[in-house]
A = this chain, B = another copy of it.
Amino acid sequence: MGISKTTFFNDTQNHLATLCKALGHPARIAIIQYLLSVENCICGDIVNELPLAQPTISQHLKELKNANLIKGNIEGNAICYCINEQTIQYLAEYFNHTSQLLAKKKATCC
């Protein structure tokens, strides 16, 4: 049916899935990496940096913003986008935690 049964999963699971899904496209990973590498983060710069048309970039930015992975500030008639540090930290903590649990867990199989 193409529709996710999000109702059957808990908030943490849905939240994590939303974050991962938002990062589940190379262009959006590239945007995050670009934002990490520059001081000034104007949308137009991203359009120049990536091999995608302006409406496409705008759409990807919207998805990253919806997932709370970036935030945008209006600067004149441009928009300054930045990574939301807290969200990245949340992901770092989740995967750290998972990784540590796995290390502790005795490999009973595989």
Residues on B with C-beta less than 8 A from A108 are 39-40
Residues on B with C-beta less than 8 A from A103 are 85
- Check if B27 sits within 8 Å of A24, measured CB to CB: no
What is the total number of residues of chain A having a CB less than 8 Å from a CB of chain B?
56
A95 to B85, CA, bound (A): 11
Residues on B with C-beta less than 8 A from A30 are 9, 13
Residues on B with C-beta less than 8 A from A99 are 85, 88-89, 92
- Check if A26 sits within 8 Å of B52, measured CB to CB: no
Give A residues with C-beta under 8 Å from B.
Answer: 4-6, 8-9, 13-14, 16-18, 20-30, 32-33, 36, 39-41, 50-52, 71-73, 75, 80-83, 85, 88-89, 91-92, 95-96, 98-99, 101-103, 105-110
Cβ-closest 10 pairs across A and B? A21-B24, A82-B110, A9-B26, A92-B95, A20-B23, A20-B24, A8-B51, A17-B26, A24-B24, A92-B99
